[in-house]
Amino acid sequence: MILAADIGGTTCKLGIFDPSLKLIEKWQIPTDTTDEGGNILKDIHVSFKDKLRVYNLSYEDFTGAGIGVPGPVDFEAGVVNGAINLNWYGHKDIKKDFEVLSGMPTIVDNDANLATLGEQACGAGRNKKDVVMFTLGTGVGGGVIVNNLLVHGTGGSAGEIGHIKVAVEENLKCNCGGTGCLESVASTLGLKNMAYKYQNEFEQSALDTMISSDSLNAKAIFENAEKQDPLSLYLVDKMTSYLAIGISNIAATLNPSRIILGGGVSQAGEFLLSRVLKQFRNFTFPPAVDSTEIVFASLGNDAGIYGAAKIVSQYKK
Amino acid sequence: MILAADIGGTTCKLGIFDPSLKLIEKWQIPTDTTDEGGNILKDIHVSFKDKLRVYNLSYEDFTGAGIGVPGPVDFEAGVVNGAINLNWYGHKDIKKDFEVLSGMPTIVDNDANLATLGEQACGAGRNKKDVVMFTLGTGVGGGVIVNNLLVHGTGGSAGEIGHIKVAVEENLKCNCGGTGCLESVASTLGLKNMAYKYQNEFEQSALDTMISSDSLNAKAIFENAEKQDPLSLYLVDKMTSYLAIGISNIAATLNPSRIILGGGVSQAGEFLLSRVLKQFRNFTFPPAVDSTEIVFASLGNDAGIYGAAKIVSQYKK
């Protein structure tokens, strides 16, 4: 059996999986970010132990533990290079630390990578060996799977597809310090960026009050676009067009059979997807169009623990 | 030992490799494109047979043959879906046809893919497991290697990195039927596209006569840029900037340790590379900058046969 943890800035999602990756039980505990996040691994360890007692199981019954963290990971070493949301600074040898605590073989990876692997193994990418996921949330994250394995790259930056340059001409600032990134136009932050930039080109908009009170969010933009608010429609058209360029670039580079859209912004559903698909067909290298399906993620917040379990099953036998 | 063939529109490059991928001998024969290219495989077979007699070898001494073709390939099936330069139309079952001729296990792949694999295994990408190559010639081709294996994708379009969209705002037509592709600005054709587009923005240029006589080529543009001709410099700056965006997108998606530039346009050498590197550093997701080396291809026209030999060594034991 396999233990899985997905560490977030507010809660840690934990799970017990059987060898066929069936989820036996999931639960969550608060993430304690005090003391530079020094209690997080211990809390997970204690919660696992408590839960195993209920099932009359012990760590010896498990092949290993998979842990997802919200920060860059040196996958082979299992070392996290800082995770701001957890108050982790510098290099943290999470694999070693959790192995010392638990005595169990441990695999550590970035949370967006593991969510992608979870969707590929057990969700919207099931039975597809080449899958790329875009997570459209506050920012844009993602993951790349080739031949059933996550691609990590040499510096652990593979899958940072929020930072492919699709909107250089917008010249909007991205969180990475650059401009023109997919994240700078296709995330909640990006939609807001564009709302501020283009507001004055429209006489009035249902978004005006939200913009002036700084309470704008992606949901409001999509809802008002569906009601034909001109600024909202303009923003959604721009956003979906840039996203389609990003997907098109992935299709020409990797030609995955499935591209998965996840994250809060993807809840805009068919209204988003129909526009993305139309632009994708316009933009994409013709031979790659028909072989690429674009679908929504299906595991929601559980994708991370599914991925954490899957990666243990791939690397620890 | 391994036999390798790289079929081009004018010549077929052939080679004999030992099991450690040392090139024993290479030679070439003309490509006979008459009769819808129906003699090409037979000619290769006869030439192999003749050469093996010299060495007192027979097909039984070989693990298999690798064949590169200038067209889209269904890698698993070994089927080519048309190759205009060879007068091949529709689906050609090249793997089966050559296996029937030779009795040898045969692997078929796209020529740009195999050139990438050749460089990764024996050339500029040696000892690096994640490598991407851009071939800058008449068009822009390429290949993607993850974990020492070529990525083919679901429809065989992986590695078509000439068709990632880096120049949407230029709105220049690409050979694929779309606009905004890397190929539409960073190939010989692309440089010419841009020369026609921007010529009138410069009072006079060393390129003017070549443009009006339609004899412009990439070499002339780079040579005149080095002599500070304003239009030529402008074109080189644009081209290198778009290429840097393309490389930057690959770095954020796959974070390969090495990116290789090959093809005729790459012969512009340091004058090209220094500009690409500068823009790459500007554009790229910061954590991916330092882990990505950009280098020139080193095997020249032999890359394809090296790759054809390597892929046999990977899939036939």
What is the residue extent of each domain of chain B? 2-110, 124-298
Question: In chain A, what is the greatest distance between 2 CA atoms, to the nearest angstrom?
Answer: 66
Q: Which ipTM did the prediction report?
A: 0.94
What is the pLDDT confidence band of residue A287, given thresholds at 50, 70 and 90?
Answer: confident
Residues A186-194: what's their mean pLDDT?
Answer: 96
> Is the predicted pLDDT of residue B156 greater than 90, yes or no?
no
Query: Which pLDDT score, from 0 to 100, does residue B188 have?
Result: 95
The closest of A180, A280, A151, A131 to B132, measured between CA atoms, is A151
Percent of chain A with pLDDT over 70: 100
Q: What confidence score (pLDDT) does residue B155 get? A: 84
Q: Please give the average per-residue pLDDT across B161-175, as a whole number.
A: 95
Per-residue pLDDT for A45 more than 80? yes
**pLDDT at residue B259, as a whole number:** 98
CATH of A126-298, one of 3.30.450.20, 3.30.420.40, 1.10.260.40, 3.40.50.10190: 3.30.420.40
Residues 23-62 of B with CB under 8 A from A: none
Q: How many Cβ pairs within 8 Å bridge chains A and B?
A: 166
Measured between beta carbons, the chain B residues lying within 8 angstroms of A181 are: 285
Percentage of the residues of chain B whose pLDDT score is greater than 90 = 95
Is residue B143 less than 8 Å (CB to CB) from chain A? no
| pLDDT 10s digits, B108-131 | 999 999 999 999 999 999 999 999
Please, which pLDDT band fits residue A316 given cuts at 50, 70 and 90? Answer: confident
Looking at residue A181, the DSSP 8-state letter turns out to be B
CA-nearest of B91, B159, B140 to A255 is B159
Quick check: A292 and B164 CB within 8 A? no
pLDDT in tens, B30-51: 999 999 999 999 999 999 999 9
Domain B124-298 has what CATH class? alpha beta
Mean pLDDT value of segment A51-66: 96
Closest CA to B205 of B235, B236, B229, B238: B229
pLDDT for residue B316: 87
Nearest residue on chain A to B159, alpha-carbon basis: A253
Task: Say whether A153 and B245 touch across the interface (CB within 8 A).
Answer: no
Chain B residues touching A133 at Cβ < 8 A: none
Mean pLDDT on B10-16: 97
- Dihedrals phi, psi of B227, to nearest 5 degrees: -90, 10
Asked whether the beta carbons of residue B154 and residue A250 sit closer than 8 angstroms, the reply is no
Q: B72 and chain A: CB distance < 8 Å anywhere?
A: yes
CA distance B46 to chain A (A): 34
Q: What is the mean pLDDT of residues B59-72?
A: 96
Residue A317 predicted with pLDDT over 90? no
| Number of neighbours of residue A25 by Cβ within 10 angstroms | 11
Distance (Å) from the C-alpha of residue B163 to the closest C-alpha of chain A?
A: 6
3-state DSSP assignment of residue A114: helix
Model confidence at A26, in pLDDT bands (50, 70, 90)?
A: very high
How high is the pLDDT of residue B64?
97
Write down the pTM of the prediction: 0.95
CB atoms within 10 A of CB A61: 12
Domain A2-118+308-315 matches domain A126-298 at the CATH topology level: yes
Distance, CA of A224 to CA of B153 (rounded, Å): 38
Task: Name which of B117, B112, B17, B131 is nearest B65 in CA terms.
Answer: B17
Contact A291/B166, CB-based, under 8 Å? no
| Domain B2-110, CATH | 3.30.420.40
Is the pLDDT at B279 greater than 90, yes or no? yes
Q: Give the distance from residue B42's alpha carbon to the nearest chain A alpha carbon, in angstroms.
A: 29
What number of CA atoms fall less than 13 Å from residue B263's CA on the CB side?
24
Query: CB distance from A161 to chain B under 8 Å?
Result: yes
Q: Provide the pLDDT confidence category of residue A155 given band limits of 50, 70 and 90.
A: confident
Domain A2-118+308-315 of CATH type 3.30.420.40:
yes
B317 pLDDT band, cuts 50/70/90, is confident
Which residue does chain B place closest to A74, by CA atoms? B287
Q: Which residues make Cβ contacts (< 8 Å) with residue B218, sequence separation at least 6?
A: B188, B191, B264, B265, B268
Q: Residue B153 is nearest to which of A130, A169, A290, comparing CB atoms?
A: A130
Cα separation, B267 vs B237, whole angstroms: 16
Using the Cβ of A133 and the Cβ atoms of chain B, whether some distance falls under 8 Å is answered with no
* Percent of residues, chain A, with pLDDT higher than 90: 95
Residue of A nearest to B133 (CA): A253
Distance from CA of B274 to the nearest CA of A (A): 20
The confidence score (pLDDT) of residue A20 equals 96
* Among A165, A180, A285, beta carbon nearest to B160: A285
Alpha helices in chain B (DSSP H): 34-37, 40-54, 94-102, 111-122, 183-186, 188-198, 208-212, 218-226, 230-254, 270-283, 286-289, 303-315
Percent of chain A as helix, strand, coil, to the nearest 5 = 45, 25, 30
pLDDT for residue A49: 97
Average pLDDT across chain A, whole number: 96
Q: Which two tokens stand for residue A64?
A: 């290993």
| pLDDT tens column, A101-135 | 999 999 999 999 999 999 999 999 999 999 999 99
Find residues 88-107 of chain B whose CB sits inside 8 Å of chain A. Answer: none
